[in-house]
Structure formats: C-alpha cells, structure tokens
A and B are shown apart, each in its own frame.
Chain A
Amino acid sequence: LAKTTQPISMDSYEGQEVNITCSHNNIATNDYITWYQQFPSQGPRFIIQGYKTKVTNEVASLFIPADRKSSTLSLPRVSLSDTAVYYCLVGTQGGSEKLVFGKGTKLTVNP
C-alpha cells in the first residue's frame, strides 16, 4: 500500500483558497488518489477522487502532476464550515478495503 504524507495542520482565513498537498512517492500504476473530509464527532465524507491531471467537482479540485507522486487538494474560498480534518488516501483500482487513513491535515479556517 502506498504511504502518504501530508501536513499535520494548516491555518487559513475565510474567503481564501486553500491548497493541501499530499506526497505519495510509491503510488502504483493502478492506484487512485482519494480525499476525505471529517468534521468533529462525524464519520469521514468522500470529497474527490482522481487518477491523473485535474478533477473538479462542486466542492473542490484535485491536481495530480504527470509523475503522480503527489497531489494537491484545492478548496476555493473557504468558510468557517470548512474547518475539518482532510485525509489523502491512495488505493488500487477496483477499490480496496485496506485503504490507509493517515493522521490527515487539520485545517482551521479563521474569521
């Protein structure tokens, strides 16, 4: 399983764009990159998934360079409600129940 490394914490202010980078040097050819969001006292929630280049949905964008050894989750114009822990996961195509959730990045959005 590819190991991921991401910052322990980040601070931002309302209205700013936040970029959280995840390193996954040992990513395998069939691995997808997935990001989850977790609010206090709640289960994680799927945000976005990608394989290469750029993926965008109504919540975030995911940028993946050609070598796929890292990825960046971009949250546009964050609000206080985006304060949460964000997890980067790398898993095989077809899915794997052995996805590894690291400690994630605790994002704090300040007023």
Chain B
Amino acid sequence: NAGVTQTPKFQVLKTGQSMTLQCAQDMNHEYMSWYRQDPGMGLRLIHYSVGAGITDQGEVPNGYNVSRSTTEDFPLRLLSAAPSQTSVYFCASRSPANHRDNEQFFGPGTRLTVL
C-alpha cells in the first residue's frame, strides 16, 4: 500500500491564483482530513470528510473548498490564494472500523508559498 499520497510536494503561487492540492489513499479509509501547519505551530483542521459525498468544516475553513466524490480522493481547493495561506498542508485518513479510535495516517505534506 502507498498509504496517503499528496501532490505536489512544493508549490509557489501568486496572490489571487487558484489551485488544487491532491490527496489520495489506498487503504479504503472512510475518514479523510486536511490540516495546515504554520511554523512553530501545531496542526489546524481545515475540512474533513466522513465518507464519499459528506464533508464538513474544521477550525480554519475560510478560503478553502473540498469535495469527496470517491473514497480514495479528497482534493483541497484554494479559491484565491493569499499570503496568509502560506503553510504546509497535510492530508490524513483513518478507518474507525479497522484502527484505534484516534489513529490517523498522514501524508508527507505539501509546502505552499503564496507571494
């Protein structure tokens, strides 16, 4: 299993540009989440999904959109990039039926810089 994969690894955007961060998992996990991590900070939840077609907002959802059309994929869209969105973005997944309750599997991250 590849686990949780994220693309791209690095991205530089100009203010106002839009883009989609890709996340995929091959473990058939129902739950998927997006976090952002700023320097010296913990992770903050952006959006999450408990299954295909079901998404909900986390702690910092503004400026981001998500959709979940398949179990495997959970893309994160930046609508109009702003310098405040410069961060490292992590995607995570888990299966409450197969793993310990709070055990999430994280991807390697996407480092995004907005100029």
Could you tell me which A residues sit within 8 Å of B by CB distance?
A: 32, 34, 41-46, 49, 87, 89, 91, 93-104
**What residue in chain B is nearest A85 (Cβ atoms)?**
B42
**What residue in chain A is nearest B58 (Cβ atoms)?**
A98
CB distance from A60 to the nearest CB of B (A): 14
In contact, B43 and A32 (Cβ under 8 angstroms): no
Known: A43-B108, A95-B96. A102 touches B42 (CB 8 A): yes
The one of A42, A46, A98, A102 in contact with B104, judged by C-beta atoms closer than 8 angstroms, is A46
In contact, A44 and B96 (Cβ under 8 angstroms): no
Measured in the bound complex, the distance between the Cα atoms of B109 and A16 in whole Å is 31
CB distance from A108 to the nearest CB of B (A): 15
In contact, B107 and A95 (Cβ under 8 angstroms): no
Measured in the bound complex, the distance between the Cα atoms of B102 and A44 in whole Å is 12
In contact, A103 and B31 (Cβ under 8 angstroms): no
In contact, B45 and A45 (Cβ under 8 angstroms): no
**What residue in chain B is nearest A92 (Cβ atoms)?**
B101
**What residue in chain B is nearest A49 (Cβ atoms)?**
B100
CB distance from B51 to the nearest CB of A (A): 11
**What residue in chain A is nearest B43 (Cβ atoms)?**
A101
In contact, A94 and B101 (Cβ under 8 angstroms): yes
In contact, B108 and A97 (Cβ under 8 angstroms): no
**What residue in chain A is nearest B109 (Cβ atoms)?**
A43
In contact, A45 and B106 (Cβ under 8 angstroms): yes
CB distance from B6 to the nearest CB of A (A): 9
In contact, B107 and A49 (Cβ under 8 angstroms): no
Given A49-B101, A95-B31, A100-B59, 13 extra CB contacts under 8 A: A32-B100, A34-B102, A42-B108, A42-B109, A43-B4, A43-B92, A43-B107, A44-B43, A44-B104, A95-B94, A95-B102, A97-B58, A100-B45
